[in-house]
């Protein structure tokens, strides 16, 4: 399952067969390398599987990487072909059609544009190509950071990765009932088991949306919505998942695998107090098929580092001194690995391969091929390994392997002095340079053209000279403190600016902050933005997103955003919520249902086209001290004022929200302001029974709305209305406290009365009506047809009233809304 499509195993197999036959027909042979440059969607899974079915090795390329880096990787991998998205900015050397090149003679890779997912997954071939793959054949080539400035392509064979996948299944045992989240970018090796472990065991694969791996709030929602049971986090993102209350909101998770960074003991302890899921700490370099050691964490482990554990099946871990002799238990040494999981080496880099993959002779005369990891470890008395750090300049930042030398090599040509040194400080890459403050712009531009985002320094420090050691090398320990002090700029002046500034200082761990200095200039990165958004939501009470803060990237801009959010709520409690700010099309406005909240639209917003700005109107009365409007006409008139539309807009509503959308459409039509109107499963006013207005009935409806939209399985028992609200507040699925539920019940009762008393006007234009099973029982579409003069196509959906806004049905709703929007813009 990906956000845009759901495939059975048969569908996936046959779609991959079809693409694999295309690859073979182009002349690709067993062992050839094929670039894959696609966003994370269902089509990516088809493409990876097709490359393997054709007997080739896939070379994952990030579409967001600079074109120069993509060109280097494709050239170094000697890719014969690239499977690319239409949006991928491939370098000019690769911009030729596959039909115009012979993959067997051309060194420059040709491009095979892969059709949109809907077309790709619809193609079918029942049989795979007649290709027999050998255990030593390459399965994939993943590039890691290179100390000389040139990334190195690690070639991993089928034997190595199959050993890792078999061990994983033997150790953790997926079943057909498991749902595994795939969220790691394909350019990192954790993605390999995330894709292929579930696919080799019959479990369900859930593919996160592009960019979703950076957003703990989104991940928490998708884990809950898709009943994910197994997922991976680097420790820094596990920290963010805990901060987002992930374990409580996702009680179905049974296994969390952590790797990529040292797992702090404090984080392990916090996880075990919040979650009943198992936590496994794994370790391994890309050069050894993802992971080579494993430790199943226990709550009663005591103090000390969390071990990286024992070797997995068919792998060996040796702790050696500088002369490659075994060291005693408890003595630090370099970790060297042996076994069937080792990579074949670095493609096209025989000298580097010989340096890191060595043939070692043991005292008894036997030999073994070993990979020298460069990681320092020690063996405990129980045989488990503890990770201690590196013995070179390689570092890990937010789970990603970084060679400092690669960054420095990319920067030295940007400024006249050619004097640059890079260090890791906490979670930030810090670049020291000899030059003026103006050089920062040149250095940043140089980085953007050559390095991916995770290799770009976030702090830039000018120095008069780089300190040198006695051997003439840069003395990194003598570099000044990288923590920026007060950066020149305007002082925070308003109370909101000072409140926002205090959060920045705390999150970024800096001394002070100016109101007009960009977040990135102060060392801000994506994970810091995640923490900052959470703090703003919790402490300032405004529901900002990470994207909001990256767009409003100074204290002054963020404070204005906070003030605007509070002001829109303070008018009468009605609020405009910008579900998506970006997009170049007329906005789609979504109107709240009878409960007043627009939280119900979160899944729909994720499914709708990214070029469509999304704005929702939440009802008055949800905030303490404000009363809801008493009639639909009052609401619609006020909401038009809040909207302040410029040009035609698209209108949408579910349930009571559709009633509001219809009334707003009537008000805007004479101004030429309606591009489209889409109504989802709305009762006609005379279908609202008077019995629905009693206190007991209101609580019944509130329980149905809250638990129905969350997919909750819990129930609320008998009692007075307030007793039942207390029961509802106590349920984990609810996510609302008692005061919020009482406000929601008051809004719901008022809106129900407004709905029942409403007398709709006739809307002169067209409308699309989407009807679920509940609406068909009432005959709502027939009633609303009398209130629309233009075309009124009715789309029947096989879902109940609340299922319409939950996966998988919400995808069909999104597709129909998009069709209505496109039709409205083209007429």
CA distance 476 to 465: 12
Residues 667 and 708 in one domain: no
SS3 297: coil
Model confidence at 107, pLDDT cuts 50, 70, 90, reads: very low
Q: CA-CA-CA-CA torsion for 530, 531, 537, 540, nearest 10 degrees?
A: -140
Structure token pair of residue 586: 């007329």
Helix (H) or strand (E) holding 710: helix 695-710
In-domain check, residue 36: no
Residue partners of 608: CB distance under 8 A and separation at least 6: 580, 588, 614, 814, 817, 818
Edge-to-edge strands of the sheet including 428-434? Answer: 420-425, 428-434, 459-463
CA distance 47 to 52: 9
Model confidence at 111, pLDDT cuts 50, 70, 90, reads: confident
pLDDT, residue 98, reads 40
Please list the residues that pair with 186 across neighbouring strands. none
Structure token pair of residue 535: 């703090």
Query: Which residue did the predictor score with more confidence, 196 or 775?
Result: 196
Residues 562 and 597 in one domain: no
Residues 728 and 792 in one domain: no
Q: Which of 401-405, 457-461, 790-794 has the lowest mean pLDDT?
A: 401-405
Whether 713 shows a pLDDT value over 60: the answer reads no
pLDDT tens digits for range 571-597? 444 567 778 877 888 999 999 998 888
Helix (H) or strand (E) holding 618: strand 614-618
Beta-strand pair 278-283/293-296: antiparallel
Model confidence at 405, pLDDT cuts 50, 70, 90, reads: confident
Percent above pLDDT 90 for the chain: 43
pLDDT tens digits for range 332-356? 999 999 999 999 999 999 999 999 9
The CATH number assigned to the domain holding 442 equals: 3.30.300.30
Query: Which residue did the predictor score with more confidence, 189 or 456?
Result: 189
Alpha helices in 289-365 (DSSP H): 350-356
Model confidence at 291, pLDDT cuts 50, 70, 90, reads: very high
Instruction: Tell which residue, 686, 685, 673, 681, has the closest CA to residue 764.
Output: 673
pLDDT tens digits for range 235-273? 888 888 888 788 888 889 999 999 988 898 889 999 999
Query: Which residue did the predictor score with more confidence, 747 or 292?
Result: 292
Q: What are phi and psi of 728, to 5 degrees?
A: -65, -40
pLDDT, residue 50, reads 96
- Please compute the mean of the pLDDT values over residues 180-198 and round it to a whole number: 96
Listing DSSP states for 612-639 in one string gives S-EEEEEPTTSSTT----SSHHHHHHHH
CA distance 532 to 498: 15
pLDDT, residue 717, reads 73
pLDDT, residue 96, reads 42
CA distance 768 to 819: 10
Residues 521 and 596 in one domain: no
pLDDT tens digits for range 632-668? 998 898 888 888 777 899 999 999 999 999 999 999 9
CA distance 660 to 591: 7
Instruction: Tell which residue, 679, 678, 743, 680, has the closest CA to residue 706.
Output: 743
Model confidence at 20, pLDDT cuts 50, 70, 90, reads: very high
∠ CA 771-776-779, nearest 5°, is 110
Residues 192 and 317 in one domain: yes
pLDDT, residue 780, reads 93
The CATH number assigned to the domain holding 562 equals: 1.10.1200.10
Residues 643 and 579 in one domain: yes
Residues 710 and 643 in one domain: no
Residues 273 and 414 in one domain: no
In-domain check, residue 748: yes
SS3 140: strand
Question: Which of 478, 505, 534 marks a domain boundary?
Answer: 478
Residues 625 and 514 in one domain: no
In-domain check, residue 139: no
Residues 473 and 411 in one domain: yes
CA 717, chain centre distance (Å) = 38
pLDDT, residue 398, reads 58
Question: Which of 519, 544, 566 marks a domain boundary?
Answer: 566
Cis peptide before 808 (omega within 30 of 0): yes
461 half-sphere exposure, CB direction, 13 A CA radius: 22
Give whole-number Cα distances, 628 to 300, 574, 594, 617, 633, in Å: 52, 8, 11, 13, 13
Residues 741 and 788 in one domain: no
In-domain check, residue 52: no
Q: Which of 294-298, 315-319, 547-551 has the lowest mean pLDDT?
A: 547-551
The CATH number assigned to the domain holding 669 equals: 3.40.50.1820
Please list the residues that pair with 2 across neighbouring strands. 5, 207
pLDDT, residue 103, reads 41
CA distance 580 to 287: 40
Q: How many independent structural domains does the chain possess?
A: 5
Task: Please give the residue range of the domain that contains residue 463.
Answer: 395-478
Whether 194 shows a pLDDT value over 80: the answer reads yes
- To 10 degrees, what angle do helices 235-243 and 216-225 make? 80
In-domain check, residue 507: yes
Structure token pair of residue 88: 């991928």
Structure token pair of residue 477: 């320990």
Helix (H) or strand (E) holding 331: none
In-domain check, residue 58: no
CA distance 169 to 312: 12
pLDDT, residue 343, reads 96
The CATH number assigned to the domain holding 208 equals: 3.40.50.12780
CA distance 111 to 136: 27
Q: Which of 34-38, 610-614, 815-819 has the lowest mean pLDDT?
A: 610-614
Model confidence at 174, pLDDT cuts 50, 70, 90, reads: very high
pLDDT, residue 568, reads 44
In-domain check, residue 295: yes
Question: Which of 478, 503, 521 marks a domain boundary?
Answer: 478
652 C-beta neighbours (distance < 10 Å), count: 27
Beta-strand pair 357-361/110-113: unpaired
CA distance 73 to 222: 33
Residues 575 and 714 in one domain: no
Whether 701 shows a pLDDT value over 80: the answer reads yes
In-domain check, residue 152: no
Structure token pair of residue 595: 């409960």
Query: Which residue did the predictor score with more confidence, 360 or 95?
Result: 360
Instruction: Tell which residue, 665, 575, 582, has the closest CA to residue 628.
Output: 575
pLDDT tens digits for range 596-607? 888 788 889 889
SS3 523: coil
- Please compute the mean of the pLDDT values over residues 92-115 and round it to a whole number: 51
Q: Are 714 and 731 in contact (CB under 8 A)?
A: yes
């Amino acid at each position: 399952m990906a956000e845009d499509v759901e495939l059975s195993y048969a569908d996936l197999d046959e779609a991959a067969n079809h693409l694999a036959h295309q690859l073979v027909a182009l002349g690709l042979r067993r062992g050839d390398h094929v670039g894959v440059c696609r966003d994370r969607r269902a089509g990516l899974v088809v493409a990876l599987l097709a490359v393997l079915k054709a007997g080739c090795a896939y070379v994952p390329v990030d579409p967001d990487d600079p074109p120069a880096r993509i060109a280097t990787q494709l050239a170094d991998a000697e890719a014969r072909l690239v499977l690319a998205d239409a949006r991928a900015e491939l370098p000019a050397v690769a911009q030729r059609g596959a039909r115009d090149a012979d993959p067997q003679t051309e060194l420059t890779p040709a491009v095979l544009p892969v059709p949109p997912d809907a077309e790709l997954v619809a193609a079918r071939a029942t049989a795979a190509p007649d290709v027999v793959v050998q255990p030593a054949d390459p399965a994939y080539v993943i590039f890691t950071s290179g100390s000389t400035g040139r990334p190195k392509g690690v070639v991993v064979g089928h034997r190595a990765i199959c050993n890792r996948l078999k061990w994983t299944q033997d150790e953790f045992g997926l079943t057909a009932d498991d749902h595994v989240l795939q969220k790691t970018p394909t350019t990192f090796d954790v993605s390999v088991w995330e894709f292929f472990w579930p696919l080799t065991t019959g479990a369900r694969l859930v593919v996160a949306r592009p960019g979703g791996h950076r957003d703990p709030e989104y991940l928490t929602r998708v884990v809950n919505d898709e009943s994910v049971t197994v997922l991976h986090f680097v420790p820094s993102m596990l920290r963010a998942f805990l901060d987002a209350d992930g374990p409580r909101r996702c009680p179905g998770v049974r296994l969390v695998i952590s790797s990529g960074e040292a797992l702090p003991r404090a984080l392990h302890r916090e996880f075990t107090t919040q979650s009943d899921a198992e936590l496994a700490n794994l370790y391994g370099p890309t050069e050894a098929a993802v992971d080579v050691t494993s430790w199943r964490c226990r709550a009663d482990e005591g103090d000390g580092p969390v071990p990286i554990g024992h070797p997995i099946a068919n792998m060996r871990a040796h702790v050696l001194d500088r002369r490659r002799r075994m060291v005693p238990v408890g003595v630090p040494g370099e970790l060297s690995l042996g076994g069937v999981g080792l990579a074949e080496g670095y493609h096209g880099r025989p000298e580097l391969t010989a340096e890191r993959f060595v043939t070692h002779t043991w005292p008894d005369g036997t030999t073994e091929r070993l990979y020298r990891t460069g990681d320092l470890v020690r063996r405990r008395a129980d045989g488990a390994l503890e990770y201690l750090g590196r013995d070179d300049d390689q570092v890990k930042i937010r789970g990603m392997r970084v060679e400092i030398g690669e960054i420095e090599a990319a920067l030295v040509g940007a400024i006249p002095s050619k004097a640059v040194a890079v260090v890791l400080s906490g979670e930030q890459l810090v670049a020291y340079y000899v030059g003026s403050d103006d050089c920062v712009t040149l250095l940043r531009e140089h980085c953007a053209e050559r390095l991916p985002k995770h290799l770009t320094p976030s702090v830039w420090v000018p120095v008069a000279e780089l300190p040198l050691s006695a051997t003439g090398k840069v003395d990194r320990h003598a570099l000044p403190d990288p923590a920026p002090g007060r950066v020149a700029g305007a002082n925070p002046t308003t109370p909101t600016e000072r409140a926002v500034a205090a959060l920045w200082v705390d999150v970024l761990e800096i001394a002070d902050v100016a109101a007009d200095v960009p977040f990135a200039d102060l060392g801000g990165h994506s994970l810091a933005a995640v923490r900052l958004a959470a703090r703003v939501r919790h402490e300032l009470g405004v529901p900002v997103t990470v994207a909001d803060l990256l767009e409003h990237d100074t204290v002054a801009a963020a404070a204005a955003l906070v003030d605007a959010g509070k002001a829109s709520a303070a008018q009468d409690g009605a609020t405009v919520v910008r579900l998506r700010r970006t997009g170049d099309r007329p906005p789609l406005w979504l109107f709240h249902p009878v409960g007043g909240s627009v939280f119900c639209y979160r899944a729909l917003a994720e499914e709708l086209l990214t070029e469509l700005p999304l704005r929702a109107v939440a009802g008055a009365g949800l905030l303490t001290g404000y009363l809801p409007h008493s009639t639909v006409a009052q609401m619609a008139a006020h909401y038009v004022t809040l909207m302040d539309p410029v040009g035609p807009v698209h209108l949408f509503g579910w349930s009571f929200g559709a009633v509001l959308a219809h009334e707003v459409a009537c008000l805007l039509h004479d101004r030429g302001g309606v591009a489209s109107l889409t109504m989802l499963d709305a009762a006609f006013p005379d279908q609202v029974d008077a019995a629905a207005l009693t206190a007991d009935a209101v609580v019944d409806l509130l329980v149905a709305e809250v638990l129905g939209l969350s997919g909750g399985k819990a129930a609320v028992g008998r009692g007075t209305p307030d007793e039942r609200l207390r029961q509802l507040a106590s349920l984990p699925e609810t996510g609302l406290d008692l005061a919020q539920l009482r406000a929601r019940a008051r809004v719901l009762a008022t809106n129900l009365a407004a709905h029942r008393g409403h007398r709709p006007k006739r809307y002169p234009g067209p409308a699309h009506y989407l009807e679920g099973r509940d609406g068909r029982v009432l005959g709502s579409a027939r009633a609303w047809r009398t209130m629309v003069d233009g075309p009124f196509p009715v789309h029947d959906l096989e879902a109940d009233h609340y299922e319409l806004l939950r996966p998988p049905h919400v995808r069909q709703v999104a597709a129909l809304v998009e069709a209505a929007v496109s039709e409205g813009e083209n007429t």
